[in-house]
Amino acid sequence: MVKLQTHQGHLQVAGCDVPELAAKYGTPFYLVNQNLIEDRCKEIHADFLAKYPGSRAAYASKAFLCLEMCRIIAQQGLGLDVVSGGELFTAVQAGFPMERVIFHGNNKTDQEIAMAVDHQVGRVVVDNMYELERLQAEAGRQDRKMDILFRITPGVDSHTHKFISTGQLDSKFGIPTDPEHLRDYMDKVMTMTNLRLLGFHFHVGSQLHANDSHLKAVEILAGIIQRVKEEHGFITEELNVGGGYGIYYTDEDEPEPLSYFTDGIMETLHKECASRGLNVPAVTIEPGRWVIGEAGMTIYTIGSIKEVPGIRTYAAVDGGMPDNPRPSLYDAKYDAVIANKMDAPRDAVATIAGKCCESGDILIWDLPVPQLAPGDTLAVRSTGAYNFAMASNYNRLPRPGVVMVKNGLDRLVVRPQSYQDMLSTEI
């Protein structure tokens, strides 16, 4: 958990004064702490990559992606997960090294497959037979050889909201582990001259605080690695264990360090491989939320404050579900502070409402706050992941911009949409 810094009652992020940023840029905006992103990348290097030679890490770009984020991730020496043509296009435009790109997705279109082959992305993670055949055909057409992994549904249930749980058997993602199924894929891929299977991928879910689903999935995958070796003579070179490492949103979260997951994964993998007489494959991790989540805040201005006598006080902000759909989508919990009243006692309670025409447009229920006044600056914490990325134009609210801060300096890396921008595709 990141400790909040204050100076004379004002919230400070990376040495920048948040109420001053609010005055300079106008609210709402996403505030991203580049120092924290870089600290997380360094932790990945020190506690995982340096410790386990041959291992790799790719940032799951769906959590938060813009050109500047691609440049930061490239500069930090990590790879990049993409799941769509749009994400790949962003990476291409940012000059991201394509050999470090991993292309996911359960329904890649013909155009996306062609793009992946054309740009020679480092890995395509193949989700299903339909994709496998089209990828082989396209790679043949372009006379290229593509490195691939098979996405496996390990059939483990993770302890998280069902909308962000992905590893259970009943899932739209991946290839089931039953022997018949996988045998078909293995037989098929061995005949495909433009594809080179390197190994397997799984992703069990998101915002996990316990490592048991990862460890269980590693055991299941070790069984598969053994089976394909015995049945097909296939040596697995790579195992991609996905992301899902949990972060701090509220005091209900007690996040573990990354090494709690990665050391556990590596220990289980080594043990499983030793007992089955297998070579240990190189491991890739794909953290998204863990890299960016706590580095982000959303900065709003408080407007109308409405007391419903005997029930609760609603304080409304100049944004809401279009810039942060997660509370209404999966009942996600957030904490927030009043950035211009950091020294005042939190002796009142307010429910933070958005400005949209939906009763469900509530960002935070019953938040302890100091005495509020219109014009106060609200900073919602841990909004770095799946906020900007999921933002919509509901009620025709323009999407907020992104202000990046580092070592006391601030800069705009995504400008806010204008009303005109919202009409730019209309005929």
Ligand X SMILES: *Cc1c(COP(=O)(O)O)cnc(C)c1O
The catalytic residue positions are 357
| Crossing angle of helices 212-232 and 258-276, rounded to 10° | 30
Q: How far is the CB of 111 from ligand X (least distance, A)?
A: 20
Stretch of 26-34, 37-45, 240-248, 315-323 contacting ligand X, by CB under 6 A: 240-248
Q: Tell whether omega for the bond before 28 is within 30 degrees of 0, i.e. cis.
A: yes
Contact predicate 98/121, CB 8 Å: yes
**Which helix (H) or strand (E) element contains residue 412?**
strand 409-414
Residue among 36, 32, 77, 83 nearest 61 (CA): 83
In the set 85, 287, 320, 370, which binds ligand X (CB under 6 A)? 287
Residues 197 and 189 sit within 8 Å (Cβ to Cβ): yes
In this chain, which of 19, 243, 296, 320 binds ligand X, going by CB under 6 A? 243
Among 244, 296, 370, 384, binds ligand X (CB under 6 A): 244
CB of 60 to ligand X, least distance (A): 3
Of 154, 177, 178, give the one whose Cα is nearest residue 166.
154
Please tell me whether residue 290 binds ligand X under the rule CB under 6 A.
yes
Q: How far is the CB of 205 from ligand X (least distance, A)?
A: 7
Query: Which residues are 200's β-sheet partners?
Result: 150, 239
As a whole number of angstroms, the longest Cα–Cα distance in the chain is 72
Number of other CB atoms surrounding residue 66 within 10 Å:
19
Number of residues that bind ligand X (CB under 6 A): 17
Pick between residue 96 and residue 300 the one whose CB is nearest to ligand X.
96
Q: Of 40 and 406, which CB lies nearer to ligand X in the complex structure?
A: 40
Tell me the window of 6-14, 42-50, 238-246, 402-410 that interacts with ligand X (CB under 6 A): 238-246
One character per residue 383-422, x = contact with ligand X (rule: CB under 6 A): --x-------------------------------------
367-386 residues near ligand X, rule: CB under 6 A: 385
CB 60 within 8 A of CB 84: no
Question: Minimal distance in Å, beta carbon 239 to ligand X?
Answer: 13
Q: Rounded to an integer, what distance in angstroms lies between the CA atom of residue 292 and that of residue 44?
A: 13
Closest CB to ligand X among residues 206, 268: 206
User: At 163, which amino acid appears?
Assistant: F
Helices 110-118, 129-141: crossing angle, 10 deg rounding: 50
Of 79 and 287, CB closest to ligand X: 287
Q: How far is the CB of 261 from ligand X (least distance, A)?
A: 10
Candidates 122, 199, 288, 370: give the one binding ligand X (CB under 6 A): 288
**Which residues in 133-232 belong to E strands, given as ranges?**
146-153, 175-176, 195-201
Task: Give the residue with the Cβ less far from ligand X, 60 or 265.
Answer: 60
Q: Which of residues 148-207 bind ligand X (CB under 6 A)?
A: 203, 206
CB of 37 to ligand X, least distance (A): 14
Q: How far is the CB of 257 from ligand X (least distance, A)?
A: 15
Residue whose CB is less far from ligand X, 300 or 386: 386
Interface with ligand X in residues 51-80 (CB under 6 A): 60, 62-63
The minimum distance between CB 287 and ligand X, in angstroms, equals: 5
Q: Which of 17, 112, 238, 286 binds ligand X (CB under 6 A)?
A: 286
Return the CA Rg of the chain: 23
Helix (H) or strand (E) holding 100: none
Question: Which range touches ligand X (CB under 6 A), out of 276-284, 287-295, 317-325, 395-403?
Answer: 287-295
One DSSP character per residue, 363-397 reads EEEEEEESS--TTPEEEEES-SSSSGGG---GGGP
> CA torsion sign, 292 to 293 to 295 to 297?
positive
Count the residues in the chain: 427
- Residues 250 and 232: beta-carbon distance below 8 Å: no
Contact positions toward ligand X, by CB under 6 A?
A: 60, 62-63, 81, 104, 203, 206, 242-245, 286-290, 385
